[in-house]
Amino acid sequence: MSVSQTDPALLLPALLGQPIEHVHRDGVEYVLLGTAHVSRSSVDAVEALLEHEHFDAVAVELCDSRAQSMRDPEAFKQMDLLKVIRQGKAGMVAASLVLSTFQKRLADQSGIQPGAEMKAAMDRAEQRGLPLWLIDREVGTTLKRAWRSVGFWQRFGLLGGLLASVFEREQIEQVEIERLKQGDLLEGAFSEFASESKPLYESLIGERDAFMAARLREEAAQAASSESRRVLVVIGAGHLKGLGELLRSQRDDPADKVAELAATPPKARWPKWLAAGLVLLVFAAIAWAFHRNTALGAQALLDWVLFTGGFAALGALAAGGHPLSILAAFIAAPIKPFRPGIPAGGISAMAEAWVRRPRVIDFDTLRDDIVHWSGWWKNRVARTLLNFFLVSVGTIIGEYSAGIHIFKSLF
């Protein structure tokens, strides 16, 4: 509920009109403050509550990685790019960077850094020596669960939306900023899709409400039971209703609920089986071509090499890759079926990072460079990630194109 005329918080002008809800459970009073991620008034409300009221702990809608990013914005400069590629995390890092461009555009346009109220809550908790509870689910897990919650064609829409945000130069419409003042930053980045897809909305909002409710109960249970506890919970206004209801009604064991919602769902097997089936069919066709005629078989094998290697190399070329990374893409793509492990995009990207090692200035200017689409080709870190993506896409296109061409030539 919003602060009313009879609320004692009337003594704090910064809280007038701010959405605040009190939930009592298991001997703990949770004071839920719904904030706007791009509003100075939310920062003022956080500071006023911590300045004038007593709390035993502060909880914020952040995960460890996002909290670390806020505490140390320069931490990403320590990123080991080659390690990221080898571990198969290049796509997730690229998606996170694209989302950061959305946040930076918001910051430039609104004059306040998104999440400033969370940073204020962390700072004030530290100054007062209060325990800080990070209650949100890891953003990488949320993105993976969101990605795997939707169908094949919806994924193209999400991917297209992310790519469009890279090339978007216009200011974010005021209506979008106002929506963020009452919603969630992740939901805002995918607002069009989240509103139309129940599974996507559930991954981005509903599951996180349940996760945060369980985390609050888990943290409270670990504190001394004899204490009279009062916890300030700073969350986006879009989570206020759902979190409040779940905090009252949730009956699951909190540790079990956290583990359940923190798990990454397994990848769908059918795309892998489909790709493997296609490759087997293509190589069966090549073997049949050799059986019919050696020259015909050699031509079919050459077609496989040229199509898969050619499209992969085009991906590296489109990413502005070094000639060595283009060559690596051309060589790695045709032998992908016989070389499990790092994909052709990863091999090409590692070659790119090895030849054109990212400089200190590339990490220094990364977040500013990628706000503009040309920065993805200008910055060596961003270009390496772009290389990974475009070569991977080129390899897939090449495999299907090769299969269609070979079958047409044989049957």
Grade residue 6 by pLDDT with cuts at 50, 70 and 90: very low
pLDDT digits (tens, 9 = 90+) for 231-275: 999 998 888 889 999 999 999 999 999 999 999 877 767 667 777
More confident residue, 317 or 142: 317
Among residues 234, 262, 290, the one where a domain terminates is 262
Residue 131 domain-assigned (yes or no) = yes
Residue 62 domain-assigned (yes or no) = yes
Residue 3 domain-assigned (yes or no) = no
Residue 224 domain-assigned (yes or no) = yes
Residue 2 domain-assigned (yes or no) = no
Q: In whole angstroms, give the CA distance from residue 111 to residue 84.
A: 33
- Please count the structural domains in the chain: 2
Q: Are 45 and 18 in contact (CB under 8 A)?
A: yes
Residue 301 domain-assigned (yes or no) = yes
Specify the pLDDT at position 33: 93
Query: What range defines the domain where residue 381 resides?
Result: 269-410
232 and 282 share a domain?
no
Q: Are 342 and 312 in contact (CB under 8 A)?
A: no
**Mean of the per-residue pLDDT values for the chain?**
80
24 and 128 share a domain?
yes
- Which residues, other chains included, contact 240 with Cβ-Cβ below 8 Å and sequence gap of 6+? 19, 21, 32, 34
312 and 253 share a domain?
no
Q: Exposed/middle/buried for 311, CB within 10 Å: 0-12, 13-18, 19+?
A: buried
Q: Are 303 and 406 in contact (CB under 8 A)?
A: yes
Cα–Cα nearest to 228, from 58, 22, 55, 31: 55
pLDDT digits (tens, 9 = 90+) for 124-137: 999 999 999 999 99
246 and 282 share a domain?
no
319 and 400 share a domain?
yes
380 and 291 share a domain?
yes
Q: Are 216 and 59 in contact (CB under 8 A)?
A: yes
108 and 190 share a domain?
yes
pLDDT digits (tens, 9 = 90+) for 331-354: 999 988 777 677 899 999 999 999
Among residues 262, 289, 322, the one where a domain terminates is 262
- Phi, psi dihedrals of residue 31, rounded to the nearest 5°: -100, 105
More confident residue, 293 or 311: 311
pLDDT digits (tens, 9 = 90+) for 53-104: 899 999 999 998 888 878 876 666 666 777 777 777 777 777 677 666 666 6
250 and 282 share a domain?
no
pLDDT digits (tens, 9 = 90+) for 145-198: 887 877 766 766 666 666 665 555 555 555 555 555 555 555 555 555 555 667
Q: In whole angstroms, give the CA distance from residue 80 to residue 66.
A: 18
- Residue 341 backbone zone (phi > 0: left; psi -120 to 50: alpha; other: beta): left
132 and 147 share a domain?
yes
Specify the pLDDT at position 28: 92
312 and 387 share a domain?
yes
Cα–Cα nearest to 365, from 51, 48, 97: 97
Among residues 205, 239, 262, the one where a domain terminates is 262
274 and 255 share a domain?
no
33 and 182 share a domain?
yes
In whole angstroms, how far apart are CA 12 and each of 42, 48, 52, 213, 288? 13, 7, 8, 27, 81
Residue 1 domain-assigned (yes or no) = no
